[in-house]
Structure 1
Amino acid sequence: MEIPIFTVDAFTNLPFKGNPAAVCLTEHELQDDLYQSIAAEMNLSETAFITRQNSKDFSSGAKFGLRWFTPTTEVALCGHATLASAAVLFYIKKNINPVVVFETMSGDLYVRQHEESLIMDFPLNKPKPQDQHEIKDLLKAAVGDLPIQDVCYCPTTKKLMIRLADTCDRSVLTSLRPEPEALLKNESTGKIKGVIVTMKGAPTAQPGYDFYSRYFAPWFGIPEDPVCGSAHTVLAGYWSEKLNKKKMLAYQCSSRGGELELELRDDGRLNISGRAQIILQGTLKI
């Protein structure tokens, strides 16, 4: 069997920045263990599998199946690999439709082109306040003794969000080095599967980021996800309320870095926009 495969850097207009995802084009569903083996082989935070299903081909079809796998497990929602998948369909396969639809574990996700960006229609996952005392050891493992302004939890995504105090400088966030083993040791209940650390941005400085973040998910075999779309379904709900804004510009300041445009819609969903660079294409021979 031969499977076309691509590596795409998502949420960036520069190669080797943003978040890399592998994207495979499959004519039909594969066995779950094969999906997982391919994802482990690629060893990126996510490998996406687009299935042709009932569409005639990848160029003219408008609806496809989409699944996402980390090196260790399948996930229910992944933003950057969805962006990467749409980039392959629009930029490589020259898909003729103005919008492509992905059938996923998180429902139908719509992606369209707008100038040099791709706009994804995603669910909005607002977090709720979390008692800090219940998870004080996990907080210590994540941010040490840094001052914390807010802690929230999103049960839908199983993500914990830690907001650093506004007195913190961005360099404090970029220099964080939580140990994956310490995070795993202090959260083994299954309630939390990822930790977002965020802080208020500098909207008056160019290019005017409303907030910054980083994302750690060793529970999924990902010590740090460079730019995480699903984390921003949580962050967008939180920061929109705090900043009283529907449109925001966010920057995930991992070592690779990535930029996301966010817009909360009147129907309760979220538009996530970003760019993508396809840097590698080849064939998996199995």
Structure 2
Amino acid sequence: FNALGFPGERIRFNTASGALYVDRSGQTLSLDFPTRPAHPVSHREPFEQALGIPLKGVLQARDTLVVLDNAEQVRNFQPDFAAIAKLDTFAIMVTAPGDDCDFVSRFFAPAKGVPEDPVTGSAHCTLVPYWAERLNKTTLHARQLSARGGELHCTLKGDRVTLSGQARCFLKGDILL
């Protein structure tokens, strides 16, 4: 919208996941993604050992969803990136109920070159269905508690998740091939 001066209110991206859309309303951008529901796992021990904290729940989608008791535990979690990188999963999402929002999270994928991602759309494809079921609501306010942090307004619509928020340009440049 900004860098190329696109005048419309909707952009379509053709991706490996199919068509993905970004809608603009003022300064708010909304992205539409397929859900990635998680299912409980029976082998919690490797995650408990790697994370070094008591876990309330462990579920698996593409990424592993680790549930903690409260937002303070998520905020204060000190990851051991080497231990997380050895786990048999693409990434780890650590989540808990929020204090002043519906839920909080952090996202770690050190084996993929991302020690901690600041704000992770793909993680919310799993987090939103999880919290929507537990909180019995389809519109949720989420906060990712990375150092940079981010606020997301999320809506579960069947097998789709809409993530809305504001974005800021953090890098601009040219690549010569």
> Normalization by structure 1: what TM-score?
0.59
Query: Quick one: which of 49, 72, 94 aligns to 2:5?
Result: 94
Instruction: Give the aligned partner of residue 243 of structure 1.
Output: 135
Unaligned runs of 5+ in 1: 1-89, 203-207
How many residue pairs get matched?
177
Aligned to 1:275: 166
Deviations 1:92-114 (A, max 9, x none): 22212221100001110011101
Match of 2:101 among 185, 192, 209: 209
- Structure 2, unmatched stretches of 5+, are none
Instruction: Write out per-residue CA displacement over residues 260-282 of structure 1, whole angstroms, 9 at most, x where no aligned residue.
Output: 110011x4211111111124433
Deviation at 1:172, TM superposition (A): 2.3
Whether 2:119 is the aligned partner of 1:227: answer: yes
Structure-2 separation of matches of 1:139 and 1:275: 34
Q: What does 1:1-286 align with in structure 2 at a 5 Å threshold?
A: 90-131=1-42, 134-142=43-51, 144-146=52-54, 148-154=55-61, 158-165=62-69, 168=70, 170-185=71-86, 187-188=87-88, 192-202=89-99, 208-265=100-157, 267-286=158-177
Cα distance in structure 2, aligned partners of 1:183 and 1:129: 19
| Identity percentage of aligned residues | 35
User: What amino acid maps onto 1:243 in structure 2?
Assistant: L
Question: What is the deviation of 1:249?
Answer: 0.6
Q: Which has the higher contact order (CA 8 A, sep 6+)?
A: 1
CA distance in 2, matches of 1:118, 1:145: 36
Q: For 2:146, what is the secondary structure of its paired residue? A: coil
Post-superposition shift, 1:149? 1.9
Structure with higher Rg: it is 1
Residue type matched to 1:253 in 2?
L
